[in-house]
Chains A and B, each alone.
Chain A
Amino acid sequence: MNALDLLLSLSALMLLAAFLFGQTRVYPWLAGILFTGQLVLLAGSDLPMAAGVGLEIFGQQVGWQLDGFGRYFALITIGAALASNVYMGGEWGERYQADGHSLRWLHAALAGNVLAMLLLLSSKDLIAFFIGWELTSWAGFLLMAQGGERALRAALRYVPYAMGGAMAVLGGLVLTLSWTGTLDLLELSRVMSTLGNGQLALLLALFAIGFSIKMGLLPFHLWQAPAYAEAAGPGTAFLGAISARMGLFALGILLVKLMTLSRVADLAFIDGLFTARDLLAWVAALTIVLPTFTALKQNDARYLLAWHGIGQGGYMLLGIVMGDATGSAGGLLHVFNYATYQAALVLAVFAVMHRTGTADLNSLGGLVTRMPLTFLVMLLGIIGLAGLPPMNGFVSKWLVYRSLMVEGRPLLFLMTVIGTLGTILSVYKLIHNTFLGQLRAEHEHIREAPWSMTVPMLALVILAFVTGVAPGLALSWVAEAQAALGLPVLAYTLGGIESPRGSLDMLWIVGVLFAGFGIGALLFYGAGGRSKRVHQLDNYAGGHFLSADVRYHYSDHFYAGLMHRIGPLYRGSFTWLESAVASATDLAASLMQAWYRQAVPALTLLVAAVLGLGWMVWR
Chain B
Amino acid sequence: MNPSFIALVVALPLLAAFLLPLVPKVLRRLVGPLVLLVVAALGMALWQASLSEPLVLAVGGFRPPLGIVFYVDSVAALFVLAVALVTLLLWPWGGDASENLDRKQSLTLVLAAACAGLTVSGDLFNVYVFYELAAVTSYGLAAGSRTAAAQVATFRYVILGSLGSLLALIGITLIYFRSGTLNLAHLADLAPQTLHDPLGLAAFFLILLGLGVKAELFLVNTWAPEVYATAEARVSALLAGLVSKLALLVVARLLVLVFPLPEAREALLVLGMLGMISGEFAAYRARDIKRMLAWSSIGQLGAAFIAFAIPGPAGVAAGLAIALHHLVVKPALFLLAERWGGSLARLAGAARRSPLGAALFALFALSLIGVPPLPGFWAKYLLLSGLAAQPDNLYLLAGLVVLVTTVVEAVYLFRVVGVMYGREAKGEDAGLTNTGSANTQPASALAGSGVFAALLLAAALAAPLLAAPLGRMATQMSDGAAYVARVLPSTATLSGAAQ
Q: Are A170's CB and B223's CB within 8 A?
A: no
Choose among A59, A153, A595 the residue that contacts B282 (Cβ–Cβ < 8 A): A595
CA distance A168 to B384 in the complex (A): 12
B:270-323 near A, CB below 8 Å: 277-279, 281-282, 284-285, 295
A210 to chain B minimum Cβ distance, whole angstroms, is: 11
Judge if B236 is at the interface, Cβ distance under 8 Å: no
Residues of chain A at interface, number, CB under 8 A: 53
Find chain B residues with CB under 8 A from A596 CB. Answer: 222, 224-225, 278, 282, 295
CA distance A189 to B224 in the complex (A): 48
Q: Are B222's CB and A159's CB within 8 A?
A: no
Q: Are A613's CB and B385's CB within 8 A?
A: no
Q: Are A609's CB and B209's CB within 8 A?
A: yes
Find chain B residues with CB under 8 A from A171 CB. Answer: 384, 399-400, 403
Judge if A145 is at the interface, Cβ distance under 8 Å: yes
Residue of B nearest to A155 (CB): B418
Q: Are A616's CB and B201's CB within 8 A?
A: yes
Q: Are B410's CB and A160's CB within 8 A?
A: yes
CA distance A174 to B410 in the complex (A): 20
Judge if A580 is at the interface, Cβ distance under 8 Å: no
Q: Are B282's CB and A616's CB within 8 A?
A: no
Q: Are B414's CB and A592's CB within 8 A?
A: no
Choose among B378, B388, B406, B407 the residue that contacts A57 (Cβ–Cβ < 8 A): B378
Residue of A nearest to B405 (CB): A167
Residue of B nearest to A128 (CB): B372
Q: Are A58's CB and B209's CB within 8 A?
A: no
Q: Are B411's CB and A159's CB within 8 A?
A: yes
Q: Are B415's CB and A156's CB within 8 A?
A: yes
Q: Are A159's CB and B378's CB within 8 A?
A: no
Find chain B residues with CB under 8 A from A593 CB. Answer: 282, 285
Known: A58-B378, A589-B281. A602 touches B163 (CB 8 A): yes
B388 to chain A minimum Cβ distance, whole angstroms, is: 4
B-contacting 9-mer, from A36-44, A130-138, A341-349:
A130-138
Judge if B11 is at the interface, Cβ distance under 8 Å: no
Judge if B485 is at the interface, Cβ distance under 8 Å: no
Find chain B residues with CB under 8 A from A602 CB. Answer: 159-160, 163
Q: Are A149's CB and B225's CB within 8 A?
A: no
CA distance A131 to B372 in the complex (A): 5
By CB atoms of chain B within 10 A, which of A149, A167, A591 has the most? A167
A:27-82 near B, CB below 8 Å: 55-59
Q: Are B411's CB and A160's CB within 8 A?
A: yes
Chain B residues touching A, majority SS? helix
A459 to chain B minimum Cβ distance, whole angstroms, is: 34
B274 to chain A minimum Cβ distance, whole angstroms, is: 10
Q: Are B372's CB and A135's CB within 8 A?
A: yes
B:374-431 near A, CB below 8 Å: 377-378, 380-382, 384-385, 387-389, 399-400, 403-404, 406-408, 410-411, 414-415, 418, 421-423
A433 to chain B minimum Cβ distance, whole angstroms, is: 30
Find chain B residues with CB under 8 A from A590 CB. Answer: 285
A610 to chain B minimum Cβ distance, whole angstroms, is: 11
Residue of B nearest to A145 (CB): B421
Q: Are B463's CB and A57's CB within 8 A?
A: yes
Q: Are B164's CB and A605's CB within 8 A?
A: yes
Find chain B residues with CB under 8 A from A615 CB. Answer: 267
Mark A601-619 against chain B: 1 for CB-CB distance below 8 A, else 0: 1101110110011011101
CA distance A104 to B400 in the complex (A): 39
Judge if B479 is at the interface, Cβ distance under 8 Å: no
Judge if A588 is at the interface, Cβ distance under 8 Å: yes
Residue of B nearest to A153 (CB): B418
Known: A167-B406, A602-B160, A613-B202. A592 touches B388 (CB 8 A): no
Known: A588-B281, A592-B278, A617-B198. A174 touches B369 (CB 8 A): no
Judge if B373 is at the interface, Cβ distance under 8 Å: yes
Find chain B residues with CB under 8 A from A598 CB. Answer: 222
Find chain A residues with CB under 8 A from B407 CB. Answer: 160, 163-164, 167
Find chain B residues with CB under 8 A from A601 CB. Answer: 156, 159-160, 220, 222-223
Judge if A577 is at the interface, Cβ distance under 8 Å: no
Residue of A nearest to B390 (CB): A178
Q: Are A616's CB and B284's CB within 8 A?
A: no
Find chain A residues with CB under 8 A from B277 CB. Answer: 592
CA distance A177 to B390 in the complex (A): 12
Choose among B201, B206, B377, B408 the residue that contacts A609 (Cβ–Cβ < 8 A): B206
CA distance A589 to B205 in the complex (A): 28
- Size band of the interface chain B makes with A: 35 or more
Q: Are A131's CB and B222's CB within 8 A?
A: no
Choose among B220, B422, B423 the residue that contacts A608 (Cβ–Cβ < 8 A): B220
Mark B192-211 against chain A: 1 for CB-CB distance below 8 A, else 0: 00000010011011100100
Choose among A57, A155, A609, A612 the residue that contacts B267 (Cβ–Cβ < 8 A): A612
Judge if B464 is at the interface, Cβ distance under 8 Å: yes
Residue of B nearest to A582 (CB): B411
Judge if B44 is at the interface, Cβ distance under 8 Å: no
Judge if A175 is at the interface, Cβ distance under 8 Å: yes
Choose among B167, B263, B382 the residue that contacts A619 (Cβ–Cβ < 8 A): B263
Choose among B160, B209, B281, B400 the residue that contacts A585 (Cβ–Cβ < 8 A): B281
B200 to chain A minimum Cβ distance, whole angstroms, is: 9
Find chain A residues with CB under 8 A from B369 CB. Answer: 163
Q: Are B198's CB and A616's CB within 8 A?
A: yes
B276 to chain A minimum Cβ distance, whole angstroms, is: 11
A142 to chain B minimum Cβ distance, whole angstroms, is: 10
Known: A589-B285, A593-B282. A130 touches B206 (CB 8 A): no
Judge if B371 is at the interface, Cβ distance under 8 Å: yes
Known: A590-B285, A596-B225, A601-B159. A159 touches B414 (CB 8 A): yes
Choose among B209, B372, B389 the residue that contacts A612 (Cβ–Cβ < 8 A): B209
CA distance A585 to B281 in the complex (A): 8
CA distance A56 to B466 in the complex (A): 11
Known: A592-B278, A604-B219. A156 touches B205 (CB 8 A): no
Residue of A nearest to B409 (CB): A163
Find chain A residues with CB under 8 A from B19 CB. Answer: none
Judge if A352 is at the interface, Cβ distance under 8 Å: no
Judge if A264 is at the interface, Cβ distance under 8 Å: no
Residue of A nearest to B415 (CB): A156
Judge if A152 is at the interface, Cβ distance under 8 Å: yes
CA distance A424 to B78 in the complex (A): 66
Find chain B residues with CB under 8 A from A56 CB. Answer: 464, 467
Judge if A556 is at the interface, Cβ distance under 8 Å: no
Judge if B77 is at the interface, Cβ distance under 8 Å: no
CA distance A231 to B480 in the complex (A): 56
Choose among B206, B220, B408, B418 the residue that contacts A156 (Cβ–Cβ < 8 A): B418
Mark A159-199 against chain B: 1 for CB-CB distance below 8 A, else 0: 11001100110110011011000000000000000000000
Sample 29 A-B pairs with CB under 8 A, ordered by A number. A58-B378, A58-B382, A131-B373, A149-B423, A163-B369, A168-B403, A170-B381, A170-B384, A174-B385, A177-B385, A585-B281, A585-B408, A588-B284, A593-B282, A593-B285, A595-B282, A596-B225, A596-B295, A598-B222, A601-B156, A601-B159, A602-B159, A605-B163, A605-B164, A605-B219, A608-B209, A612-B267, A616-B198, A619-B201
Known interface pairs A58-B382, A608-B220; 9 further A-B residue pairs with C-beta atoms within 8 A, sorted by A's residue number: A145-B418, A155-B418, A159-B414, A167-B407, A174-B399, A589-B281, A592-B278, A602-B160, A613-B202
Closest 10 CB pairs of A and B: A589-B285, A174-B388, A592-B282, A167-B403, A163-B410, A178-B388, A589-B284, A592-B281, A131-B372, A616-B201
Interface residues of B, Cβ cutoff 8 Å to A: 156, 159-160, 163-164, 167, 198, 201-202, 204-206, 209, 219-220, 222-225, 263, 267, 277-279, 281-282, 284-285, 295, 366, 369, 371-373, 377-378, 380-382, 384-385, 387-389, 399-400, 403-404, 406-408, 410-411, 414-415, 418, 421-423, 463-464, 467, 471
Interface residues of A, Cβ cutoff 8 Å to B: 55-59, 127, 130-131, 134-135, 138, 145, 149, 152-153, 155-156, 159-160, 163-164, 167-168, 170-171, 174-175, 177-178, 585-586, 588-593, 595-596, 598, 601-602, 604-606, 608-609, 612-613, 615-617, 619
